[in-house]
Amino acid sequence: SIMPLRVIQVVKSIYNVGAKNYRHLCAVYYNKNPGFEIIHGLLDRIMQLLDVPPGEDKGGYVIKASEGPAFFPGRCAEIFARGQSVGKLGVLHPDVITKFELTMPCSSLEINIGPFL
């Protein structure tokens, strides 16, 4: 069995409006259990490697409960760092999972790591 499946991708996005570059990191964890704690642990490790401490002070990061159409209600959090929103993580909504023809729960993380590089 290939389970659990972990996929991580880093993409550089260039937007003509405002001439901004973004470097997005996306990760998906696919297994019999949604794995929110796995994806949250991945966020913690990424931020540690980027020298961004947990906490709102000293330029750190926090996650706060949030909602989003792609996420299961009550299982989504927004990532804030240095006074701005930089991403979201959570358990994907069953409608999203079935649209990708998947049969088990998924959790995902999407974060703009550009401000920390």
pLDDT band of residue 114 (cuts 50, 70, 90) is confident
Q: What is the mean pLDDT of the chain?
A: 88
The model's pLDDT over 58-94, given as tens digits with 9 standing for 90+, comes to: 789 999 999 999 999 999 999 999 889 999 999 999 9
The pairing of strands 61-65 and 20-30 is unpaired
Those residues with Cβ within 8 angstroms of residue 15's Cβ, 6 or more apart along the chain or in another chain: 21, 22
Is 60 exceeded by the pLDDT of residue 1?
A: no
Please give the residue that has the higher pLDDT: either 19 or 101.
101
Please give the residue that has the higher pLDDT: either 79 or 5.
79
5-116: CATH, from 3.60.15.10, 3.30.930.10, 3.30.300.30, 3.50.50.60: 3.30.930.10
First to last CA, the chain: 37
- State residue 41's pLDDT score: 95
Q: Name the pTM for this structure.
A: 0.86
- State residue 69's pLDDT score: 94
Those residues with Cβ within 8 angstroms of residue 50's Cβ, 6 or more apart along the chain or in another chain: 113, 116, 117
Alpha helices in the chain (DSSP H): 36-49, 94-99
